[in-house]
Structure 1
Amino acid sequence: MGRTLRFTAAAAITALAAAALQSAATPRPQASKDAARLADASGGDDWAAFGRTFGEQHYSPLADINDRNVSQLGLAWSLDLPFGNSVTAPLAVDGTLYFARGYSVVQAVDAATGRELWTYDPKAPEAAGHKLRQGWGSRGIAYWNGKIYTGAHDGRLIAIDAKTGKPVWSTMTVDKDDVRFISGPPRVFDGKVIIGHGGADVGSIRGYVSTYDAETGKLLWRFHTVPGNPADGFENKAMEMAAKTWAGEWWKYGGGGTVWNAMTYDAGTDTILIGVGNGAPWNRKVRSLDQGDNLFLSSIVALDARTGAYKWHYQTNPGETWDYNAAMDMELADLTIGGARRQVLMTAPKNGFFYVIDRTNGKLISAEPFVKVTWASKIDLATGRPVENPASRYPKGTTFTMWPGPVGAHTWLPMAFSPKAGLVYIPAIEMATSYNDDGITQPTWKRTPGSAVDGAANPNFVVKDAGPLNATSALIAWNPVTQKQAWKVPTPGFWNGGIMASAGNLVFQGQIDGAFNAYEAGSGKRLWSFAAQAPVTAPPITYRAGGRQYVTVLTGMGTSGAAFGPLIERYGIDYRTQARRVLTFAIGGKGVLPKAEKAVITASDDPTYKADKASADAGIEIYGRRCAVCHGVYAIAAGIAPDLRQSPVPTDAEAFNAVVRGGALVPNGMPRFEELTDAEMLHLRQYIRSEAAALRTRK
């Protein structure tokens, strides 16, 4: 009897285990539906991920709106948004539109009408502490099994019920008091959600990605992108291998390698591909004794999606030293190259080369420059390595002018690939920067305090005939098979909007001057334009709701380019008055936006101001370290934060102290700098007031 009971119990346990395995192997109906809608071959009624599908092509197979009727496209509805970042990529699922604004404030509206359904505010600025000193808000969100996923600036990954807007779970993905923060969109795959972080520009941190159970928020696996202190042991063989490519005591500098943006899922091989960022600090001479490739900086790394185990990598910039990275979107496609069908990954990172890589093994297929490049003459196809210009590493105190500069030939704003046209559409930037590291040595260098950007190098953006005021941008159509430009359309200013392509033979892109355009995919001919009355840099999407195809895009500045106010001053983009909106278009739409006046930046009245050059000069350095990244060079703002020349706050010492040291405007995204001394506050305030006085004189 006892033996029978024991046998029965064992059999029951075996049966339960088998059932559990069967359950795990058979996706739930809803999960299967989500996986189907995220497949690259899905129908297109929904836009359920940052790039629409797992392959991140930013392409829709919908063609109800096409090159023959796009001239009839009109505004179906619009929704005004409050202050804050508004360049997120929206999602559209089952007739509901979801988007993030500000600091990961997620909102849901009816996709056909714009009727507001719910809003969830994670109160990220209040929770962020010093993390608030970098970054400007969310770039995107994710959807899976009835939940919206958002990464909050303070480092939380949050799951929200898509029907009610109520939080389901929340988990902290970083240390509470480090400088890591989240601005990029999470990605979902096979019941999991993955997130990275930023912060390597300002702190001694070690990058990683974390993958969680999408239903519970339980951590499943974590992969570090650079090795830590060998004395602590290595997490895996990949880190042991990577450590051989570093020198000195790199771990004391953190190493960097944050995955702050690009992640792509290859469902066919169950592989997650991550785009790894720059070194911490930028300068390899400081970080790694000027030695080694420093894996996995500036690399595309393929990981087993179930376990996080390393599969392969391809490094775009061995020994990265210029804030180049491989963090721009990576798009999957099947292309016929040399008569053979190849499964490829395509990416156009900061360094100016367009790469086509075999996504099954990481082998380089081709790479050619799509903009002006001076740091390397070519990419050697035999080795996969760049043939560098030796001067580009600014040896022995020399200065080198680099094309492209650290802003990059392509930023986070995504490109798009049209399988129908066979072309990739790149929002390209051409701007140079000169580099040297005069006065910086490895043994004595220390990070600038206050969470300021400090790469242990001296980049100069104001390069004669090549710097910001001469910077250009363009929408480039690129043939990934021939590695040649198909067509090019110049775009205004240096900043460029995200791209969306469709089977309607169309390419959509917004511009910094407020135009939202549709181009013929094969020729680049502009077929339609809408005056949005505000910068349009966010990635557009298209979807169906109630059987009708719509195109949606957000307007307003946010998340990047804040320091470069002088470059876009002529467009009159004001933080206080710019129109932040959700715009949705349909064939036959008759909506009209209210007339907007062009913003004019005027300096605030300051009757007690007296010039003090010595004090203002002392304030320039403080401003450059702590303020320029948001409020702009020379206090000329780019619309992401207020232009301090017209603010009344610096004219009053008490109000200035309450905001800067006291944190009175933290909920608005203004960080607190409690460490500034009375003397530093005096000089900082004097510098800002001097720039306002100069503006009054010019006017």
Structure 2
Amino acid sequence: MMGAGKARFRKFSIAAATALLLCTAQAVADVDNATLGNEADGTDWGAFGRTFSEQRFSPLDQINKQTVPKLGLAWSLDLPDVWNVSSAPVEVDGVIYIAVGFSVIYAVDAVSGKQLWSYDPKVDPVKMRMAWGIRGLSFWKGKVIAGVQDGRLFALDAKSGKLLWETLTTEPGDNRYITGAPRVFNGKVIIGHGGADFGHVRGYVTAYDAETGKQDWRWYIVPGDPAKGFENKAMEMAAKTWNGQWWKFGGGGTAWNAMTYDPELNRVYIGTGNGGPWNAKLRSPGGGDNLFLCSVVALDADTGEYVWHYQTAPGESWDFNSTMDMVLATINIDGKPRKVILHAPKNGFFYVLDRETGKLISAEKLGKVTWAKGIDMATGRPIEEPGVRYEDGEALMWPGSGGLHNWQPMSFSPDTGLTYIPAHELAGYYNDKGFDPKTYDMDRDGSMGIHAFFDDVPKSAGSSSLLAWNPATQKKAWEIPLPGATNGGVMSTHGGLVFQGQSDGKFVARDDSTGAVLWSADMGVGTQAPPITYSVGGKQYVSILAGWAGGQMLLGSLSAQHGWVGRNHPRRLLTYALGGTATLPPSPPSAQPVPVDDAAFKVDPALAEKGKVLYQHCLICHGTAVVAGGFAPDLRASAIPLSAEAFAAVVKNGGLQSKGMPPFAELSDEDLTALRHYIRQQARYKPSAWDQIKTAWHFICLMIKMKLMALGWIKP
């Protein structure tokens, strides 16, 4: 009897302990409004921007200015079957969750680095062509929620990785795709999409029930065909700012990245994208602001009803997305605390908006901005320079379509009052000579409405920096030049540190007051991804994904300058802690591709010219002018295009689909031949000094012309 009693007691104790552990875990894993609204508790990093504010600031300070020299690698996890890790992790209850590549989800023990489970949603091969990859995921009450490039939204059980629900947020066969992280609030999950650069897309955002995946509400960003009526008064109002038959092109306005929930006002702010096509002269002949392109729009979080908007680029014609971070903060302005939105869209200005009314408080240039003199505070509109709408057929200006700030997230520190921005400087060249609104056909003439750019982009064409900006005074506190043209997202902490992964393969911690480097580590490869920090068992950790893909990988030599090659160099999750002693796995040295050739191959100039146009299918992955930026193999250095049979097997028949190369079954044998001739031509091309001088002189003359127009000495 005594033994049986002990056995029963032992069974009861185990059951009770198990139940207690499960309850404890569930309590922590129940990420909800209270959790995401808690700025003071830095234990977990439960959302893309950590909390609803999207400040990407952690109150943890175990790792600080004094202790950071002791920071070391705790563990690393290589992800050999993933092509793109430009993504933000989340961490909940000692588990890191990442969405990488085409939304493959991994759950990883945050202390040991052991993989717990993975889930692959198996993306539609056709949607592989928009090869940006996923940039983040969400967590809500024990569920991991993420979007897929082919338009699906799904939820997984966080403990097992089991699929709980899945829904299609787009329409079958359309040009929409998902690359951004969903946001969750009030039991709803909201997601937008991209696609305005690829034709016939009307942007929208949709809210779904986080428990079931059932659609709750949808809000369109631009108006549709007026003959079919309007979904709401906001669309009726917006239609008055358009001209022509814009709905035939879709209009654009896709919300592919930033969406911020405001728990104080129960609103969600949507950052909207560029027009479709980019060229406003074709999209909306006769002018108009084209609402709600390139705007911050406030919606009621429960109903999706329009509240207010602020447009950063009226009648946009430059791909000046406002889909970059929208950070919530309370800052002192004129001696009074103001609830504001901090916003640095592509166009080069830093905006401070009143989040209750949408009223512009201030706006200033962050760096080199030549398309506008400033922002008129009376109207909130940019004061455009003459000629920037390429009225005479072309324009060169700063920034270009890559923006002064892109999707890589910035961070706001309430300790310093500074915003830390991964900034870059790169010009934009726009040319629409020969396009006519009366004859423009989006399918035939290209979805952007401007001429494609076929030349390589030299590594000297752009630069980057980490910029510390004071939003209260609209002045720069400090700025540090960075390697290359684009670097990773930023995180700041109560420890007085700013963390950032760089394109040269360094992970760096800087003093938040001065920008001085206090610590750095080699990641073995560059990155675009932002870091996170969290605490497990009273110990603070810092994690980051490293791998060369995403961002501006299509810019030829500008992107390729670091010598990273996506399939050769690692994609990995790295985690650091004080006293960490793990050894970084070896990584191949950086190297530039060496073109291969077949002397017997005779290039036909006419076929090569046709292939140059067809190559627009390829440049997102393989780089402009066939100079790969490190994202996918450099076709000049690949033996596959040397063989007609091998080239057809890969390009047309999908022979490397498992490696992320989608099939292009619609290409004819003649198309494939033309592509091979263009690739061979580029493999043999060596620009002469005279070629470079002519190109540089063309741009210099264009800038002089625009300056003279700005001075009023000549007319556009």
Tell me the TM-score normalised to structure 1 length.
0.92
1:615, CA displacement in angstroms? 4.7
User: Structure 1 residue 684 and structure 2 residue 675: aligned?
Assistant: yes
Classify the secondary structure of the residue corresponding to 1:560. coil
Kindly indicate whether the alpha-carbon contact (under 8 Å) linking 2:320 and 2:403 is maintained by their aligned counterparts in 1: yes
Match of 1:211 in 2: 207
Kindly indicate whether the alpha-carbon contact (under 8 Å) linking 1:40 and 1:55 is maintained by their aligned counterparts in 2: no
User: Structure 1 residue 595 and structure 2 residue 595: aligned?
Assistant: no
Kindly indicate whether the alpha-carbon contact (under 8 Å) linking 2:612 and 2:678 is maintained by their aligned counterparts in 1: no
1:101, CA displacement in angstroms? 1.4
User: Structure 1 residue 435 and structure 2 residue 430: aligned?
Assistant: yes
CA distance in 1, matches of 2:495, 2:113: 24
Match of 2:362 in 1: 366
Kindly indicate whether the alpha-carbon contact (under 8 Å) linking 1:577 and 1:599 is maintained by their aligned counterparts in 2: no
Kindly indicate whether the alpha-carbon contact (under 8 Å) linking 1:79 and 1:581 is maintained by their aligned counterparts in 2: yes
Aligned residue among 364, 387, 390 for 2:386: 390
User: Structure 1 residue 140 and structure 2 residue 136: aligned?
Assistant: yes
CA distance in 2, matches of 1:245, 1:231: 16
Classify the secondary structure of the residue corresponding to 1:688. helix
Kindly indicate whether the alpha-carbon contact (under 8 Å) linking 2:56 and 2:412 is maintained by their aligned counterparts in 1: yes
- Greater mean deviation of Cα atoms: 414-423 or 555-564: 555-564
Distance 1:33 1:433, change over 3 A: closer
Kindly indicate whether the alpha-carbon contact (under 8 Å) linking 1:603 and 1:693 is maintained by their aligned counterparts in 2: no
Aligned residue among 441, 446, 450 for 2:441: 446
1:390, CA displacement in angstroms? 2.5
Kindly indicate whether the alpha-carbon contact (under 8 Å) linking 2:487 and 2:528 is maintained by their aligned counterparts in 1: yes
User: Structure 1 residue 194 and structure 2 residue 194: aligned?
Assistant: no
Classify the secondary structure of the residue corresponding to 1:585. strand
CA distance in 1, matches of 2:557, 2:38: 41
Match of 1:421 in 2: 416
Distance 1:104 1:33, change over 3 A: closer
Match of 1:256 in 2: 252
Match of 1:541 in 2: 532
Kindly indicate whether the alpha-carbon contact (under 8 Å) linking 2:611 and 2:677 is maintained by their aligned counterparts in 1: no
Classify the secondary structure of the residue corresponding to 1:482. coil
Alignment of 1:654-693 (within 5 A): 654-693=645-684
Q: Which amino acid aligns with 2:93?
A: D
1:531-569 CA-partner distances (Å, limit 9, x unpaired)? 111002200000011221000000012232121131133
CA distance in 2, matches of 1:245, 1:617: 43
1:379-426 CA-partner distances (Å, limit 9, x unpaired)? 1111111111121111133x3211100010011000000001100000
CA distance in 2, matches of 1:468, 1:373: 20
User: Structure 1 residue 92 and structure 2 residue 91: aligned?
Assistant: yes
1:622, CA displacement in angstroms? 3.2
Distance 1:322 1:641, change over 3 A: same
Q: Which amino acid aligns with 1:333?
A: A
Match of 1:278 in 2: 274
Classify the secondary structure of the residue corresponding to 1:645. helix
- Greater mean deviation of Cα atoms: 426-435 or 165-174: 426-435
CA distance in 1, matches of 2:286, 2:631: 36
Q: Which amino acid aligns with 1:84?
A: W
CA distance in 1, matches of 2:235, 2:598: 61
1:444, CA displacement in angstroms? 1.3
1:443, CA displacement in angstroms? 1.5
1:40, CA displacement in angstroms? 4.8
Aligned residue among 597, 608, 624 for 1:617: 608
Q: Which amino acid aligns with 2:430?
A: Y
Q: Which amino acid aligns with 1:93?
A: V
Alignment of 1:235-634 (within 5 A): 235-397=231-393, 399-448=394-443, 454-458=447-451, 469-603=460-594, 606-607=597-598, 609-615=600-606, 617-634=608-625
1:645-697 CA-partner distances (Å, limit 9, x unpaired)? 222221221121122111222333222222222211101012223333458x9
1:616, CA displacement in angstroms? 5.5
CA distance in 1, matches of 2:187, 2:139: 11
Q: Which amino acid aligns with 1:640?
A: F
Name the count of aligned residue pairs.
Answer: 662
1:576, CA displacement in angstroms? 2.0
CA distance in 1, matches of 2:437, 2:113: 55
Classify the secondary structure of the residue corresponding to 1:36. helix
Kindly indicate whether the alpha-carbon contact (under 8 Å) linking 1:298 and 1:326 is maintained by their aligned counterparts in 2: yes
1:159, CA displacement in angstroms? 0.3
Distance 1:373 1:396, change over 3 A: same
Kindly indicate whether the alpha-carbon contact (under 8 Å) linking 1:141 and 1:148 is maintained by their aligned counterparts in 2: yes
Kindly indicate whether the alpha-carbon contact (under 8 Å) linking 1:434 and 1:459 is maintained by their aligned counterparts in 2: no
Q: Which amino acid aligns with 1:282?
A: W
Distance 1:434 1:690, change over 3 A: closer
Distance 1:56 1:534, change over 3 A: same
Match of 2:712 in 1: none
Match of 1:101 in 2: 100
- Structure 1 alignment gaps of length 5 or more: 1-27
User: Structure 1 residue 78 and structure 2 residue 76: aligned?
Assistant: yes
Classify the secondary structure of the residue corresponding to 1:680. helix
- Greater mean deviation of Cα atoms: 274-283 or 81-90: 81-90
Aligned residue among 622, 628, 651 for 1:637: 628
1:111-153 CA-partner distances (Å, limit 9, x unpaired)? 01101100000011xx242x32213211000000100011001
Distance 1:600 1:619, change over 3 A: farther
1:33, CA displacement in angstroms? 5.1
CA distance in 2, matches of 1:619, 1:600: 31
Distance 1:573 1:33, change over 3 A: closer
CA distance in 2, matches of 1:514, 1:309: 45
Match of 2:50 in 1: 52
Q: Which amino acid aligns with 1:456?
A: G
Kindly indicate whether the alpha-carbon contact (under 8 Å) linking 1:78 and 1:583 is maintained by their aligned counterparts in 2: yes
Match of 2:32 in 1: 34
1:608, CA displacement in angstroms? 6.5
Match of 2:118 in 1: 119
Kindly indicate whether the alpha-carbon contact (under 8 Å) linking 1:135 and 1:183 is maintained by their aligned counterparts in 2: no
Kindly indicate whether the alpha-carbon contact (under 8 Å) linking 1:603 and 1:647 is maintained by their aligned counterparts in 2: no
- Greater mean deviation of Cα atoms: 678-687 or 277-286: 678-687
CA distance in 2, matches of 1:690, 1:460: 17
1:641, CA displacement in angstroms? 1.5
CA distance in 2, matches of 1:453, 1:630: 18
1:604, CA displacement in angstroms? 6.6
Distance 1:30 1:238, change over 3 A: farther
Distance 1:609 1:331, change over 3 A: farther
CA distance in 2, matches of 1:33, 1:687: 53
CA distance in 2, matches of 1:453, 1:139: 27
CA distance in 1, matches of 2:451, 2:606: 24
CA distance in 2, matches of 1:598, 1:297: 43
- Structure 2 alignment gaps of length 5 or more: 1-25, 689-716
Distance 1:42 1:667, change over 3 A: farther
CA distance in 1, matches of 2:256, 2:436: 28
CA distance in 2, matches of 1:606, 1:394: 40
1:42, CA displacement in angstroms? 3.7
Tell me the TM-score normalised to structure 2 length.
0.89
CA distance in 2, matches of 1:31, 1:78: 24
CA distance in 1, matches of 2:573, 2:446: 32
CA distance in 2, matches of 1:258, 1:564: 23
